[in-house]
């Protein structure tokens, strides 16, 4: 940085030349674009992604293109050419070294404090006398386990940076005083691999999971670890009965380290793919639906997939969506729980969610469930039996019919059949082949898509409605947010053709409109909420809420 502005952001690359990634700098968190210092400053740091973001972002990739860990994904992200992609891939810069600056402070601790003052996100650090170094390392080791980012070690450096930098050091004999990296030795345990389970995922891939005799690792009992894909199993030559060592990657994720009984037969070419099926217990049939499986290769890696287009595993995504908060809202029904239930054959569609009671004992015995978690799930399922119309339609995952379209349907049904529950009038309208394109904003693609879906799923929907009560009726309540309220509309509108159209809408819902803001105004609609126009200032003075068009749309 010079002149108080970021000039160049580069990756470390091979240590000699890195790539210029300055274009991505504005999207990397914790990296200031301007600093309150105008001389030249060189800072070194690392791009990191939290476990939570990693999980979310990685899930968007096709399974065979997913990243192994947050570090790989963060590194790939900062090197992207299209900066726009970074908006949905949160990466943070963590500064760990002030490399150059005029009048560089002589103490390491001060250097980091300077970085902090300049606005950088700085790595966790502390200063301590050498006598308590061991205890401090211990404390930081414990902290690492609760860190949202993967951390693989600690660095110890002499606080007298000026003195430390004068010490000799080469690649082979590094200067340990200027920064000595300590990696944690992973706690590894030996155990016996008992089985490889193949868990179907939402795309129909079958993912291997090692099941081994339970061992204590980093304070918890572990008996399972992901094996990623078929190639991984083959390369490690993993067979039931083998002695293996296991550890927790970054102290968190159980992983297989070594197979002590590997003879490398496969990598030496001594095993054909057909023999591999028997040797490594690759399932010929999908554990979920029983259809045939097939091996396929992607970027040099072997995967196993189910060949059945209608495999229940492919409904995992739909089931997860169904349970989401703005859908039917089954709290705590995560993707991993859905996946586990689908894999056991307990869950094939929405209706089965309400019939899990018949598998009570088996579910309680499942990994990741137990008595308490089963009880919570049942409670959440019971609480979801009376959804409102819009979240329910949204939950069904009908192509082209989202929350917005469901709202349009509801409002129209409310006007057409004011005394009937929305769901009943909806089914009635559908049965009579009503052309929903009469609804403003409801296009022919949506109409067609909705009808096709109903045609194919009527049986399922009927069964589902026996488990649920979607009894919400049109009532004044639905409109109360607008009816009787006075609105002032100002500024440009985007969802409506012009301001008159939005005013007409307000009046259909029983609201009033006025030309200027007064103490009788309930809402000022202005997309530029921060505008300093007269109307905005007046509204702020009077404490009248200023809402955007979007917020207005959500009122009905």
Residue 401, judged by CB atoms within 10 A of its CB (0-12, 13-18, 19+), counts as: buried
What's the CA angle centered on 550, arms 547 and 551, to 5 degrees?
Answer: 45
How many other C-beta atoms are found inside a 10 Å radius of the C-beta of residue 480? 13
Q: Which is nearer to Zn ion, 209 or 555 (by Cβ)?
A: 209
Confirm or reject binding of residue 316 to Zn ion (CB under 5 A).
no
515, 488 Cβ separation under 8 angstroms: yes
Confirm or reject binding of residue 288 to Zn ion (CB under 5 A).
yes
Q: Which is nearer to Zn ion, 205 or 288 (by Cβ)?
A: 288
Confirm or reject binding of residue 333 to Zn ion (CB under 5 A).
no
User: Min. distance of Cβ 200 from Zn ion in angstroms?
Assistant: 6
Q: Which is nearer to Zn ion, 313 or 353 (by Cβ)?
A: 313
Q: Which is nearer to Zn ion, 32 or 287 (by Cβ)?
A: 287
Confirm or reject binding of residue 304 to Zn ion (CB under 5 A).
no
Q: Which is nearer to Zn ion, 292 or 554 (by Cβ)?
A: 292
User: Min. distance of Cβ 287 from Zn ion in angstroms?
Assistant: 8
Number of residues that bind Zn ion (CB under 5 A): 7
User: Min. distance of Cβ 467 from Zn ion in angstroms?
Assistant: 25
260, 218 Cβ separation under 8 angstroms: no
Integer Cα distance of 378 and 444 in angstroms: 40
Sign of CA dihedral 325, 328, 332, 335: negative
Confirm or reject binding of residue 502 to Zn ion (CB under 5 A).
no
Stretch that binds Zn ion, among 6-14, 281-289, 511-519, 535-543 (CB under 5 A): 281-289
223, 214 Cβ separation under 8 angstroms: yes
CA-to-CA separations, 541 to 222, 399, 516, 534, 538, in angstroms, rounded: 60, 46, 14, 10, 5
User: Min. distance of Cβ 211 from Zn ion in angstroms?
Assistant: 20
Q: Which is nearer to Zn ion, 163 or 296 (by Cβ)?
A: 296
Element containing residue 363 per DSSP (H, E):
helix 360-364
Q: How do beta strands 546-547 and 243-249 pair? A: unpaired
User: Min. distance of Cβ 452 from Zn ion in angstroms?
Assistant: 24
| Both tokens assigned to 492 | 């440009």
What's the CA angle centered on 153, arms 148 and 157, to 5 degrees?
Answer: 120
Confirm or reject binding of residue 203 to Zn ion (CB under 5 A).
no
Q: Which is nearer to Zn ion, 11 or 308 (by Cβ)?
A: 308
What are the residues whose beta carbons fall under 8 Å from the beta carbon of 192, sequence distance 6 or more?
212, 213, 241, 242, 243, 244
Closest alpha carbon to 281 in 351, 222, 223, 227: 227
Confirm or reject binding of residue 205 to Zn ion (CB under 5 A).
no
Confirm or reject binding of residue 347 to Zn ion (CB under 5 A).
no
Confirm or reject binding of residue 311 to Zn ion (CB under 5 A).
yes
User: Min. distance of Cβ 333 from Zn ion in angstroms?
Assistant: 21
Q: Which is nearer to Zn ion, 134 or 307 (by Cβ)?
A: 307
Confirm or reject binding of residue 289 to Zn ion (CB under 5 A).
yes
User: Min. distance of Cβ 307 from Zn ion in angstroms?
Assistant: 8
Confirm or reject binding of residue 306 to Zn ion (CB under 5 A).
yes
User: Min. distance of Cβ 354 from Zn ion in angstroms?
Assistant: 23
Confirm or reject binding of residue 308 to Zn ion (CB under 5 A).
yes
Integer Cα distance of 80 and 65 in angstroms: 15
Site of interaction with Zn ion (CB under 5 A): 286, 288-289, 291, 306, 308, 311
């Amino acid at each position: 940085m010079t002149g108080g502005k970021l000039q160049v952001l580069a990756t470390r690359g091979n240590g000699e030349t890195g790539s210029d990634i300055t274009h991505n700098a504005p999207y990397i968190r914790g990296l200031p674009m301007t600093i309150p210092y105008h001389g030249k400053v060189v800072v070194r740091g690392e791009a990191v992604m939290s476990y939570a973001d990693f999980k979310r972002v990685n899930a968007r990739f096709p399974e065979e293109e997913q990243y192994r860990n947050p570090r790989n994904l963060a590194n790939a992200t900062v090197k992207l050419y299209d900066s726009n992609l970074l908006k949905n891939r949160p990466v943070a810069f963590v500064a760990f070294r002030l490399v150059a600056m005029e009048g560089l402070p002589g103490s390491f601790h001060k250097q980091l404090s300077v970085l902090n003052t300049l606005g950088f996100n700085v790595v966790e650090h502390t200063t301590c006398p050498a006598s308590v170094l061991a205890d401090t390392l211990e404390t930081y080791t414990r902290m690492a386990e609760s860190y949202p980012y993967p951390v693989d070690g600690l660095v110890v450096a002499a606080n007298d940076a000026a003195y430390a930098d004068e010490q000799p050091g080469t690649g082979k004999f590094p200067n340990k005083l200027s920064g000595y990296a300590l990696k944690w030795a992973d706690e590894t345990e030996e155990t016996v691999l008992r089985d490889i389970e193949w868990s179907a995922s939402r795309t129909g891939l079958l993912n291997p999971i090692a099941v081994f005799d339970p061992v204590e690792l980093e304070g918890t009992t572990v008996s399972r670890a992901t094996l990623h894909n078929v190639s991984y199993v083959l390369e490690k030559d993993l067979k039931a009965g083998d002695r293996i060592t296991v550890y927790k990657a970054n102290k968190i994720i159980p992983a297989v380290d070594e197979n002590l009984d590997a003879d490398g037969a496969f990598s030496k070419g001594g095993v054909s793919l057909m023999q591999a099926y028997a040797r490594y217990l690759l399932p010929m049939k999908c554990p979920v639906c029983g259809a045939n499986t097939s091996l396929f290769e992607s970027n040099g890696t072997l995967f196993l997939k189910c060949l059945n287009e209608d495999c229940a595993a492919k409904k995992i995504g739909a089931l997860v969506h169904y349970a989401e908060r703005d859908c039917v809202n089954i709290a705590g029904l995560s993707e991993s729980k859905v996946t586990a239930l689908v894999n056991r054959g307990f869950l094939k569609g929405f209706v089965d969610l309400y019939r899990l009671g018949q598998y009570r004992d088996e579910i309680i015995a499942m990994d990741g469930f137990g008595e308490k978690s089963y009880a919570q799930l049942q409670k959440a399922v019971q609480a979801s039996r009376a959804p409102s119309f819009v979240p329910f339609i949204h939950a069904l995952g009908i192509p082209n019919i989202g929350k917005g379209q469901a709202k349009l349907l509801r409002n129209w049904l409310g006007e057409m059949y004011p005394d009937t529950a929305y769901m009943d009038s909806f089914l009635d309208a559908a049965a009579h082949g009503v052309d929903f394109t009469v609804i403003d904003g409801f296009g022919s693609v949506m109409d067609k898509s909705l009808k096709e879906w109903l045609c194919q799923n009527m049986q399922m929907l009927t069964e589902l409605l026996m488990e649920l009560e979607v009894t919400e009726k049109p009532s004044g309540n639905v409109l109360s947010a607008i009816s009787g309220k006075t609105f002032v509309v100002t500024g440009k509108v985007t969802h409506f053709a012009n301001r008159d159209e939005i005013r007409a809408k307000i009046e259909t819902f029983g609201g009033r409109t006025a030309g200027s803001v007064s103490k009788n105004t309930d809402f000022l609609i202005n997309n530029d909420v921060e505008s300093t126009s007269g109307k905005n200032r007046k509204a702020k003075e009077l404490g009248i809420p200023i809402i955007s068009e979007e917020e207005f749309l959500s009122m009905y």
